[in-house]
Amino acid sequence: MDQTLRITEIFYSLQGEANTVGLPTVFIRLTGCPLRCSYCDTAYAFTGGEKLGIDDILLQVSRYKTRYVTVTGGEPLAQPACNPLMVRLLDAGYQVSLETSGALDVAAVDSRVSKVMDLKTPSSGELERNRYDNIQYLTLHDQVKFVIADAADYQWAKQQLELYRLVEHCEVLFSPVMDVMSPTELAERILTDQLQVRFQIQLHKFLWNDARGK
């Protein structure tokens, strides 16, 4: 197998979301994504990038003093060498999380990886791409994320929460689309309905807006 990956950027920042929010983390952003979500904030990662071998990637990661590494995109699993990269990172002692769209099979992802998997809401425009079979591969150290733009998205997310009994499989994240869904409104809906989910706001957007490499 080709052990090179096309990389958009490798950078050091604070984790902006998920259950390690606020922790200094190295992000490895892979290039390319088969989806085109309406709220995507990383369209610059669809094309371009630089081909790097796994050894070169680990060397760059080693320059930062943190044990947390997030492999993101684009859609990281679209590149075949993504899984070997994560295994190498794990074997080197890093705590690895994977941000994935939920449209590609996660069965082969190493069980040590913390999967942060989207279930695409109706407003994303990619609802039909959800691969619900992936839910069976989630564990209690994984997370399902719903990115919510409006009341219809919220109601749909609630239905999936109940239909798939998601809180029994993993942690569940509800996140408002920045500048579209009021964070306060979403928070109040969660409290009113007493949902057992984690409300999250993208911390990095409050600190650095949409600056690349942050």
User: Does residue 152 contact residue 123 with C-beta atoms inside 8 Å?
Assistant: yes
Residue 146, pLDDT score: 98
Residue 206, pLDDT score: 74
Residue 105, pLDDT score: 97
Binding residue ranges? 14-16, 29, 33, 37, 39-42, 72, 74
Binding residue ranges for substrate? 14-16, 29, 72
Structural domains in the chain (count):
1
Q: Exposed e or buried b for every residue in 99-131, given b needs 16+ CB within 10 A? A: bbbbbbebeebeeebbbbbbbbbebbebeebbb
Q: What is the CATH number of the domain that holds 160?
A: 3.20.20.70
Residue 62, pLDDT score: 97
Query: Under 8 Å CB-to-CB from 81, ≥6 apart: which residues?
Result: 1, 2, 3, 4, 5, 54
Residue 35, pLDDT score: 94
User: Does residue 66 contact residue 92 with C-beta atoms inside 8 Å?
Assistant: no
Q: Which two tokens stand for residue 162?
A: 């109940």
Binding residue ranges for [4Fe-4S] cluster? 33, 37, 40
Binding residue ranges for S-adenosyl-L-methionine? 39-41, 74
Q: Which two tokens stand for residue 111?
A: 């069980």
Q: What is the residue range of 126's domain?
A: 4-208
Residue 51 lies in a domain: yes
Residue 202 lies in a domain: yes
Residue 213 lies in a domain: no
Binding residue ranges for Mg(2+)? 42
Tell me the H-state helices in the chain. 54-61, 82-91, 151-163, 183-192, 203-208
Residue 81, pLDDT score: 97
- Kindly give the confidence (pLDDT) of every residue in the chain, 214 residues in length, as a single tens digit, with 9 standing for 90 and above: 668 999 999 999 999 888 899 999 999 999 999 999 999 989 999 999 999 999 999 999 999 999 999 999 999 999 999 999 999 999 999 999 999 999 999 999 999 999 999 999 999 999 999 999 999 999 999 999 999 999 999 999 999 999 999 999 999 999 999 889 999 999 999 999 999 999 999 886 777 676 666 5
Residue 214 lies in a domain: no
Residue 2, pLDDT score: 67
Residue 72 lies in a domain: yes
